[in-house]
Amino acid sequence: MSDQLACHKHGRSNLGYQNWRWRPHDCNLKRWNMTETWEKLRGKRLMFVGDSLNRGQWSSMVCLLQSVIPVDKRSMSPNAPLTIFRAKEYNATVEFLWAPLLVESNSDDPVNHRLDDRIIRPDSVLKHSSKWGHADILVFNRYLWWRQGPVKLLWSDEEHGICEELDGAGAMELAMGAWADWVASEVETRKKQVFFVTVSPTHLWSEEWQPGSEGNCFNEKAPIEDAGYWGSGSDISTMQMVERVLSTVSSKVSVLNITQLSEYR
């Protein structure tokens, strides 16, 4: 687990969260079985594709799944655009592909991606799909990187070609469209499962869940308990756009709607 995710290692003293359990209203979810999961993954590649939020989901899954695999029967590739955890006896992998904007961009380096100007090729998923296209189960996510100001569009493969500029929401819709085109043309549901994770909201203004307070989510130790809570970190227009795009490939993509759940965190 990377240092930025290792809360206990870096001194977090309140550990009550380790005993939390997600339980939707009127629903008692069964405990997750790691061995059963490996059997379902036998001979397959499960790949998370996206930004650091999906990398966090990949890390969590690997932490759980590795616990039932002997040390001499597992391996992890070095940190790179594509990081792979292998379980030899199951001939299975759980992988993460760094593709923060889905389409090709100048932020595709997993380390050096904090750039002043964000440039994308809005019509090209070829760079990333050449890696994710071979997976049996794909989990995509998309949102936060499009909320960081305007994006420059490069419509050719010339490194210093002429760019036009578009706001983040408009650029995200173009990228989502290119991704949906790939799904429509390349995904055979008998051979491949595709999931899309909805908006993971930000929690920037504590006054939204605690009126009269100032600041953000720093030093918060418990979830928001107001049932039905919505903050400004879930952009409705973006959510509607994602819903429109996903509706065009609804027969080939399963939606993992985590937005309201994540509002409470």
Which range of 22-26, 50-54, 219-223 scores highest in mean pLDDT? It is 50-54
| Six-digit token string for 17 | 């969260």
Closest C-alpha among 74, 69, 195, 179 to residue 129: 179
What is the spatial distance between Cα 85 and Cα 125, in angstroms, rounded to a whole number? 24
Q: What is the pLDDT of residue 107?
A: 93
* 254: pLDDT strictly greater than 80: yes
Angstrom distances, CA of residue 20 to CA of 6, 57, 106, 202, 249: 17, 17, 39, 21, 35
Q: What is the pLDDT of residue 194?
A: 98
Which phi and psi (to 5°) does residue 28 adopt? -110, 95
The 10s digit of each residue's pLDDT in 185-208 is 999 999 999 999 999 998 889 999
Q: What is the pLDDT of residue 4?
A: 73
Q: How confident is the model at residue 49 (pLDDT cuts 50, 70, 90)?
A: very high
The 10s digit of each residue's pLDDT in 126-173 is 999 999 999 999 999 988 889 888 999 998 776 666 789 999 999 999
What is the spatial distance between Cα 67 and Cα 241, in angstroms, rounded to a whole number? 39
Q: How confident is the model at residue 252 (pLDDT cuts 50, 70, 90)?
A: very high
Q: What is the pLDDT of residue 184?
A: 97
Q: What is the pLDDT of residue 160?
A: 66
Question: Where are the chain's structural domains?
Answer: 98-264
What is the spatial distance between Cα 119 and Cα 196, in angstroms, rounded to a whole number? 23
The residues near 40 (Cβ < 8 Å, ≥ 6 apart) are none
Put the strands of the sheet holding 82-87 in their side by side order.
Answer: 74-76, 82-87, 92-98, 45-50, 137-141, 193-197, 254-256
> Taking the CA atoms of the chain, what radius of gyration do you get in angstroms?
19
Strands 74-76 and 82-87: antiparallel
Least confident of 25-34, 154-163, 226-235, 244-253: 154-163
The 10s digit of each residue's pLDDT in 16-39 is 888 888 777 888 888 889 999 999
The 10s digit of each residue's pLDDT in 87-132 is 999 999 999 999 999 999 999 998 888 888 899 999 999 999 999 9
Q: What is the pLDDT of residue 132?
A: 97
Average pLDDT over residues 215-226: 87
